[in-house]
Amino acid sequence: MSVRAGRGRKRAEAPPAALGSAVQRLRKARAMSLGDLSQVSGVAKSIISQIERNETNPTIATVLKLAGALGVSPEQLLARAAERPAIIQHQRRADIPVLFSEDGKCRLFIIGALELVEHVQWYDFHAEPGGALASEPHQPGCTEHLHVLRGVIEVTSGEETRVVKAGESLRYRGDLPHVLRNVGDEPAHATMVLIMHPLG
């Protein structure tokens, strides 16, 4: 482990950004509170909290203490920090972008990963009775996959129109002008996935 001098103490020069998450996962797996880990390791509770939030660069001595208290070697702790976490991203409802149709009766929640929009996009679609969402053609080869969870949605792609009921799915060309319209008497709800490129 490389180190650098700093006010008489040695700190890890570049600890993994997920070190705090690794400490937190191990602590919770052992049913330890912050206070428990502080008591066993001798590291202040406030410092452990800062480490778990990745707000501080811990000294090597601190890493050694925490690793010992968690029952792993420092190398194992850092290796766990470098592992890809099981939970990659958790978007709270308030953080999910939403688009509205021109008539204001349709909402399109962007629930897919924004970094994947060039390849795949997926949405949570809600429409009030009579609401319509019109879209210009997407890139050539794009297909849309719609699954209706509630209500009745009429889909027009190009010059073809189909009515899709709750529990049914429809796949259609997204590279033509297309419209989703709630033709039922109650709010409609559907999930929609756009595959931006032909598969294979």
Do 184 and 151 meet the contact criterion of CB atoms below 8 Å apart? yes
Q: Count other Cβ atoms within 10 Å, centred on residue 166.
A: 16
Residue 5: is its pLDDT beyond 60? no
Q: 55, 82, 109 — which closes off a domain?
A: 82
128 with 153, same domain?
yes
CA distance 20 to 161: 53
State the average pLDDT over residues 167-188: 97
68 with 150, same domain?
no
Q: Is 169 or 6 the better-scoring residue by pLDDT?
A: 169
CA distance 5 to 47: 20
Query: In terms of residue numbers, what domain contains 157?
Result: 93-195
Residue 200: what pLDDT? 63
Does the residue 104 lie in any domain? Answer: yes
Reported pTM:
0.62
Do 174 and 144 meet the contact criterion of CB atoms below 8 Å apart? yes
98 with 189, same domain?
yes
Residue 100's pLDDT band (cuts 50, 70, 90): very high
Q: Three-state SS for 200? A: coil
67 with 116, same domain?
no
Does the residue 48 lie in any domain? Answer: yes
What kind and span of H or E run contains 80?
A: helix 74-82
Residue 127, token pair as written in the block: 């429409």
Does the residue 36 lie in any domain? Answer: yes
Instruction: Say how many domains are in the chain.
Output: 2
